Amino acid sequence: MGILSNIFHKIFPSTHPAVQPASTQAAPPASMQSAGAAPAAAPAKAAVPPPAAPMEQVDVEAILSGMPQSQNLNWRTSIVDLLKLLNLDSSLQSRKELASELDYKGDTGDSASMNIWLHRQVMNKLAANGGKVPADLKD
């Protein structure tokens, strides 16, 4: 499980689609996999999935602001404080792993720039996956 996934699991409820494992499609029955199988009389109509239900919106700001803090953490601007608030590893190595996971193209040696980028990307990802994130914290 990646670091972003860990963040999602800490913020979204367990029933939220953002934390559900990807569904896997079952392989066709063995009788249909063989090359010598007789063709069906009429081609089967492609199944049309039902319309997706609207994604449950989760108020990220309310959840993070309501979390107990053992110290004064500024999760709104600091990726380190956000990770600490979520009881996740906030070490430089962990943040470099998150940067890699999010396809960071900058210099990971410039931790200040990387941290600013990471915070913005995490907020964008939360918003893209059903999180209600304040507009000033995302692109």
Residue type, 102: L
Reported as a single tens digit per residue, the pLDDT across 58-80 is 999 999 999 998 889 999 999 99
Q: Comparing 19 with 95, which gets the higher pLDDT?
A: 95
Q: Could you tell me what percent of the chain has a pLDDT over 70?
A: 75
Q: What is the pLDDT of residue 139?
A: 85
Q: What is the pLDDT of residue 23?
A: 53
User: How far is the C-alpha of 116 from the C-alpha of 83, rounded, in Å?
Assistant: 13
> What's the pLDDT band for 97 if we cut at 50, 70, 90?
very high
Residue type, 50: P
3-state secondary structure of 118: helix
Q: What does the domain layout of the chain look like in residue ranges?
A: 56-139
> What's the pLDDT band for 138 if we cut at 50, 70, 90?
confident
Q: What is the pLDDT of residue 21?
A: 72
Give the global pTM: 0.74
pLDDT over threshold 90, residue 102: yes
